[in-house]
Amino acid sequence: MAFSYQIRMCFQDVDGEGIVYHANYLKYAERARTEWLIQMGLNNQEIMNMGVAMVLRHVEMHFVSPARLDDVLDINVRVLESKNASTTFEQVISVNGLERVNIKIQLAYVNTETLRPTRIPAILKQKYEESMKGN
């Protein structure tokens, strides 16, 4: 099941021509994933308290068309694949139903003390698997 999060673009999000700065899309994608975790009953601090951090391993972004000042971005989060120590997400950012950016993000899970790869916490793995049933 995909999760959707909305955010309105303001002056801090755009360049001098009123177009959303490209790097900001990664921030919006992370914010949507964070809100999705909260909706599932978890948050980043709880996961870190389990001794696990989520780190970016790989990202692909396909820019379709620009978003602009005052646009409301609809940011969808969907789990594509969840392995033992990584998860791949697809995040589509659209405005009024028109796709602007398509992002594929792979997060790896590491031990917060050693920064070595570690398994996804069981509760998080379960939530990912439940969400994929609706895909």
Coil, helix or strand at residue 118 = coil
**Using one digit for the tens of pLDDT, what is the confidence trace for 22-69?**
999 999 999 999 999 999 999 999 999 999 999 999 999 999 999 999
Model-level pTM?
0.92
The whole-number average pLDDT for the span 119-131 is 92
Domain spans in the chain, listed from the N-terminal domain onward: 3-133
Confidence of residue 79 (pLDDT cuts 50, 70, 90): very high
Catalogue the long-range contacts made by 83-87 (C-beta closer than 8 Å, 24 or more residues apart).
84/119, 84/120, 85/109, 85/117, 85/118, 85/119, 85/120, 86/57, 86/120, 87/120, 87/128
CATH class of 3-133: alpha beta
Is the pLDDT confidence value at 1 over 70? Answer: no
3 state DSSP class of 129: helix
Main-chain phi, psi angles of 56, to 5 degrees: -70, 125
Give the helix/strand (H/E) hosting 68: none
Length in residues, the chain: 135
pLDDT of residue 61: 98
